[in-house]
Structure 1
Amino acid sequence: MSSALTDLFPHPIVQAPMAGGVSGPELAAAVSEAGGLGFLAAGYKTADGMYQEIKQLRGLTNRPFGVNVFLPQPECADRAAVEVYAHQLAGEATWYETELGDPDSGRDDGFDAKLAVLLDDPVPVVSFHFGCPSREAVDALHRVGTFTLVTATTPEEARAVERAGADAVIAQGVEAGGHQGTHRDLPENDGTGLGLLSLVAQVRETVRIPIVAAGGIMRGSQIAAVLAAGASAVQLGTAFLATPESGAHALHKQALTNPLFARTELTRAFSGRPARALVNRFLREHGRYAPAAYPEVHHLTAPLRKAAAKAGDAQGMALWAGQGHRQARALPAGRLVEVLRDELDAAAAALSGTPGSFRTSGSFGASGASGKGGPR
């Protein structure tokens, strides 16, 4: 890598921000300390909760890190469909001895308040999910020295990211675990999407800004493949899910390599938005009926998912995972970065005969971020 991001993290490895308590300060610090880019997930947190985690993370590492925020969602849910789904889930609530959540608990995830905190107390990197921020928001972050990333799942979305002035685009393939970062949630998003290598190649021909590739990557040889395809760095989520520093529930970590959970599917069952999860009872029974209604379905099912976790029932939990989940390694996060780096070097050497050649490749150009890693 070169230019702005070289100053941020020496290895082309970004730890994906996994919301719901998975990507906390401990995980982000371990990745950053090892030379990758650790990320805090601010999704589903309050602005103050995000601020407190940033403060905690700064106490754990002096290295650059990122914070991910969700963009506000348009109000387009079919209220009748949400009510029908709530009626279907009534049996789950009885089973887990809880109440269904309020689907109207909130839709903007405190975006404006979080952006205000990030402008008042800048961090090195901010990434956006579920849409494309305004040019004004990106410019404001640049003025305080923050590097900006935005997720895209199509070449058209990547073009919108470039127009917004972002420094780099996260090209998320359909293999990725958790929520797809589509800018608009349409019915045709269900079960479809571009595979990562095809997406990276198409985005490379569409935009001039650097690409961070995400989706199903679990090994250094796969990192080498997407770098060769035109990416400048990679983002891994499921690979870090099983680490001791991850805040994922123990059952979630165990399920990644449990033969009982052999495959994944994109589903709306838990949140109302397409997200890749391990197939379990809840997904099988309710996935086909869940409406396109985010965050209404997310709020509706939140007590069910919490009760299932408390009861130790993985069959009722949202077990987010990418297609490469069976390759998960329960290594400390810092050690995993080192192993991935060594695997990448070995793959680079095998391809070119030049050890470590991928560690200084890529096309990260000048950005609005400050020169030496930006603010802390």
Structure 2
Amino acid sequence: MSLFDTPFIAAPMAGGTSTPALVQAVQAGGGLGFLAAGYKSPESMTAEIVAARAAGIRFGMNVFVPDPVQLSPGPDARARLESYRTELESEAARYGASVPAVRFDDDDAWRDKIDALLADPVEFVSFAFGLPGKSVVQALQKAGTAVISSVTSVAEALAAAEEGPDAIAVQHTSAGGHTAAFLPAGTGATGAQAAGTTAGLVAQVRGAVDLPLIAAGAIMDSSTLKEVLVAGAAAGQVGTALVRTEESGARQAHKDALGDPRFTETAMTRAFTGRSARSLVNEFVRDHRDAPEGYPAIHHLTAPIRAAASAAGDPERLNLWAGTGWKAARNGSAENVVRDFLSGL
């Protein structure tokens, strides 16, 4: 069997969507689930690990890699962020909320989370938004953890392979939520933009690195899962297809929006967090097409707006993360969704 013992991996979806209950249901269906440390304190991350272990399930943990450039922007970037903050004040006023001051002190408790995962190792740790560094990779491996780096191009895959991870997650631009990209667009001869499909990108990376690959992007049924496996992936990483399930911790307005015919397209946007992410196109995405780069500063600026919109049941100002195949997402138990994926292989 492969490193994962299943071709179905539930994507780590930060912000509360990935829950121990979701991971448990995925395992019951024959898959492997990941929890997400992003936006959580080290204590909350550890509590979810404890809950998953108490349920007796296999799981991995995903960690965001901080970007020093975004945490220490220059004067021009700071001015753009202040301007965007002013732009957001009218959005907050709709709900009687306020926009906080711009902050640059949030590295998502990077060191504390790594220390916690070294002190109490889990089976898998995956990284997104950057490479963790060879020393972190080796320390986790020494502790008994298999390490997975996330990439979006051949150039990034080659850089990731230099650090010696156990596997690489290959994310196509069709994937919902944040891009895992960490090199400037156009770096290297090929990339996600050059590959028309997730399977095509997997084939490109398969030809460049000799590591187990996890494919991510628009994998919505057994046929698209089979395509990436044939292209050379050891497993497919599925996110959007699980968002509407009973065990998902996504906001109800997000779940409902995925089945609402008024939403007709997805787009990459920085409007909600300052980092490009694929979302259903709602009023907020349309109104802030020129949002600047600035993660996680913009995440904090829009957090009160998103919370108020959720409380009001208003999907027009929520980050409705969705891959390009979102229309195939369905509700019900995640266990049944996974079984359907695997039964068609």
| TM-score bin, normalised by smaller chain | over 0.9
Q: Quickly say closer, same or farther: Cα 1:307–1:300, change in 2 above 3 A.
A: same
Q: Quickly say closer, same or farther: Cα 1:341–1:273, change in 2 above 3 A.
A: same
Q: Quickly say closer, same or farther: Cα 1:331–1:185, change in 2 above 3 A.
A: farther
Shift of residue 215, structure 1, vs aligned partner: 0.3
| 1:312 and 2:313 aligned | yes
Secondary structure in structure 2 of the residue aligned to 1:319: coil
Alignment of 1:256-295 (within 5 A): 256-286=258-288, 288-295=289-296
Once the two structures are overlaid, the 10-residue window that deviates more, 156-165 or 31-40, is 31-40
Shift of residue 105, structure 1, vs aligned partner: 5.6
Secondary structure in structure 2 of the residue aligned to 1:89: helix
CA contact (8 A) 1:103 1:295 kept: no
Shift of residue 102, structure 1, vs aligned partner: 3.4
Give the distance between the partners of 1:32 and 1:100, measured in 2 at CA: 40
Shift of residue 144, structure 1, vs aligned partner: 1.2
Q: Quickly say closer, same or farther: Cα 1:35–1:86, change in 2 above 3 A.
A: same
CA contact (8 A) 2:243 2:250 kept: yes
Residue 348 (structure 1) aligns with: none
| 1:41 and 2:36 aligned | yes
Secondary structure in structure 2 of the residue aligned to 1:126: strand
Give the distance between the partners of 1:216 and 1:193, measured in 2 at CA: 16
Alignment of 1:219-238 (within 5 A): 219-238=221-240
CA contact (8 A) 1:168 1:212 kept: yes
The superposition leaves residues 229-261 of structure 1 with CA deviations (integer Å, 9 ceiling, x where unpaired) of 111100000011011000011111111121111
Secondary structure in structure 2 of the residue aligned to 1:88: helix
Give the distance between the partners of 1:258 and 1:96, measured in 2 at CA: 23
Give the distance between the partners of 2:336 and 2:262, measured in 1 at CA: 28
Residue 82 (structure 1) aligns with: 81
Q: Quickly say closer, same or farther: Cα 1:205–1:187, change in 2 above 3 A.
A: closer
Residue 168 (structure 2) aligns with: 169
Shift of residue 51, structure 1, vs aligned partner: 0.3
CA contact (8 A) 2:15 2:39 kept: yes
Residue 51 (structure 2) aligns with: 56
Q: Quickly say closer, same or farther: Cα 1:102–1:18, change in 2 above 3 A.
A: farther
Residue 14 of structure 1, aligned match among 9, 15, 22: 9
Q: Quickly say closer, same or farther: Cα 1:185–1:19, change in 2 above 3 A.
A: farther
Secondary structure in structure 1 of the residue aligned to 2:99: coil
The superposition leaves residues 296-349 of structure 1 with CA deviations (integer Å, 9 ceiling, x where unpaired) of 1111111111110011100010000000000002120111111110122xxxxx
Secondary structure in structure 1 of the residue aligned to 2:101: coil
Residue 114 (structure 1) aligns with: 113
The superposition leaves residues 155-214 of structure 1 with CA deviations (integer Å, 9 ceiling, x where unpaired) of 0111111111111100000000000001146699xx957441221111011100011000
Residue 251 of structure 1, aligned match among 225, 250, 253: 253
Shift of residue 276, structure 1, vs aligned partner: 0.1
Alignment of 1:343-358 (within 5 A): 343-344=344-345
Residue 242 (structure 2) aligns with: 240
CA contact (8 A) 2:82 2:102 kept: no
Secondary structure in structure 2 of the residue aligned to 1:53: helix
- AA aligned to 2:176 is G
Give TM-score scaled by structure 1 length.
Answer: 0.86
Residue 324 (structure 1) aligns with: 325
Give the distance between the partners of 2:310 and 2:30, measured in 1 at CA: 33
Q: Quickly say closer, same or farther: Cα 1:186–1:82, change in 2 above 3 A.
A: farther
Aligned length: 335
Once the two structures are overlaid, the 10-residue window that deviates more, 67-76 or 306-315, is 67-76
| 1:70 and 2:64 aligned | yes
Q: Quickly say closer, same or farther: Cα 1:221–1:129, change in 2 above 3 A.
A: same
Alignment of 1:147-226 (within 5 A): 147-184=146-183, 194=195, 195-226=197-228
CA contact (8 A) 1:272 1:297 kept: yes
Give the distance between the partners of 1:202 and 1:299, measured in 2 at CA: 36
Once the two structures are overlaid, the 10-residue window that deviates more, 179-188 or 113-122, is 179-188
CA contact (8 A) 1:23 1:247 kept: yes
- AA aligned to 1:72 is P
Q: Quickly say closer, same or farther: Cα 1:279–1:187, change in 2 above 3 A.
A: farther
- Which runs of 5 or more residues in structure 2 are unaligned? none
Give the distance between the partners of 2:179 and 2:173, measured in 1 at CA: 7
Shift of residue 37, structure 1, vs aligned partner: 0.9
Kindly, what percent of the aligned residue pairs are identical?
Answer: 45
Shift of residue 33, structure 1, vs aligned partner: 3.1
| Structure 1 stretches of at least 4 aligned residues deviating more than 3 Å after TM superposition | 184-188, 191-195
